[in-house]
Amino acid sequence: DTAVSQTPKYLVTQMGNDKSIKCEQNLGHDTMYWYKQDSKKFLKIMFSYNNKELIINETVPNRFSPKSPDKAHLNLHINSLELGDSAVYFCASSPWAGGRTDTQYFGPGTRLTVL
């Protein structure tokens, strides 16, 4: 069984459109994340949720809105897509470790291409 899954795997869309990426984990973890990997392979945290509560919100444009309907799901909605949003988006999860940062489990990624 897939531990962290994302859909879709590929997403090609026009500028200005609104799109969503879904993420689900079946590991029973309390914490979930969204990371963005750019064309130079730099990986940067965007958001983090713990038990449906937002705990990290980096300097991400407010066109990006995460939503966590339950602790097993963390979806990413993007409004008014721009060319610079093209990247690979990774969802990840980890067990709650208090103030520490523990091993994270990554999904396969969603390659977003904005034309």
Partner 1 sequence: SQQGEEDPQALSIQEGENATMNCSYKTSINNLQWYRQNSGRGLVHLILIRSNEREKHSGRLRVTLDTSKKSSSLLITASRAADTASYFCATGRVDTGRRALTFGSGTRLQVQP
Q: What is the binding site for partner 1 (CB under 8 A)?
A: 4, 31, 33, 40-45, 48, 50, 55-56, 90, 92, 94, 97, 99-109
Q: Which CB sits closer to partner 1, 16 or 95?
A: 95
CB 107 within 8 A of CB 91: yes
CB of 39 to partner 1, least distance (A): 13
Which of 2/20 has CB closer to partner 1? 2
Min separation Cβ 29 and partner 1, Å: 11
On the CB side of 97, CA atoms within 13 Å amount to: 9
- Report how far residue 9's alpha carbon sits from residue 28's, in angstroms, rounded to the nearest whole number: 23
Q: Of 45 and 72, which CB lies nearer to partner 1 in the complex structure?
A: 45
- Outline where 1-115 has alpha helix (H): none
Q: How far is the CB of 16 from partner 1 (least distance, A)?
A: 28
Residue closest to 69 by CA, chosen among 20, 107, 112: 20
